[in-house]
Amino acid sequence: MVRLAGKVAVITGGSSGIGSATARRFVGEGARVFIMGRRRSELDKAKALIGDGLSTVAGDVTNSADLDKLFATVLDTEVGLDILVGNSARVESEMLGKTTEENFDATFKVNARATLFTVQKAPPLIRNGGSVILIGSAAGRMGVPGYSAYSATKAALRSYTRTWTREFNDRGIQVQHVEPGPDRQSHVGTSARRHSSPRRYHSTGWAAPKRSQPLHCFWPPMTAASWPASN
């Protein structure tokens, strides 16, 4: 079933990893997808992999002019936007005693600040009933040694979700927070598994909570592209 036929989606950090997997799934479901990333070589690889239905925009989410270029590119061919996926992030491991101001500031600049200003620019384009999806991390709710700054920025995304759900309520725009489990290949995933109880971690990632979580979803690694992003 082509569930996203006629929908238009923007994905930041869309040239690799979860962003690329999401773009591929969305195009397969019939959406027209625009991805943004800093490295042209990776964008070209994503375009070659996904093909028609995907447009690429080279840019830095921390640069306001680049964000303006991203949304202007969408409006060059489309009349509106249905889905915005905020996926751009940086991570660098530093234990508390060795955390530098440079790493702290750079991590918050990409993961927290840029996410806010990306979403700030989107509402004039997003059609009523659309979706804003923030890609969080299991690290945002659990203690992972060496990732104080990264984990704090991912916790901030949960707060954004609760706040923006109220702010966008009158337009029926859904704000969703997705928490992929730690990827086996990621530094965060390796550290999380090393410092966690083996009963809580499974081969497919962190188990879903038994209680329902109304403001966010919880997914195993690399399956974030499978949620129904828009009705």
Q: Domains of the chain: which residue ranges?
A: 8-225
What would the mean pLDDT of 57-75 be, rounded to a whole number? 97
Q: Homologous superfamily of 8-225 in CATH?
A: NAD(P)-binding Rossmann-like Domain (3.40.50.720)
Instruction: Tell me the pLDDT tens digit for each residue of 174-189.
Output: 999 999 866 554 445 4
CA distance 151 to 190: 15
Instruction: Tell me the pLDDT tens digit for each residue of 12-44.
Output: 999 989 999 999 999 999 999 999 999 999 999
CA distance 131 to 128: 9
Place of tokens 């964000």: 67
- As a residue count, the chain comes to 231
Q: Is 147 a catalytic residue?
A: no
pLDDT of amino acid 182: 60
Q: What is the maximum span of the chain, computed from C-alpha positions, in angstroms?
A: 52
pLDDT of amino acid 218: 36
Please give the order of strands across the beta sheet that includes 32-37: 54-58, 32-37, 8-12, 81-86, 126-135, 174-180, 216-219
Would strands 8-12 and 32-37 be described as parallel, antiparallel, or unpaired? parallel
User: What is the share, in percent, of the chain residues with pLDDT greater than 70?
Assistant: 77
User: Does residue 207 register a pLDDT over 90?
Assistant: no
Instruction: Tell me the pLDDT tens digit for each residue of 144-156.
Output: 899 999 999 999 9
Q: Chain-centre distance of CA 224, in angstroms?
A: 9
Residue of 147, 150, 160, 201 marked catalytic: 150
Query: pLDDT confidence of 1, banded at 50, 70, 90?
Result: low
Read off the tokens for 200: 């809580």
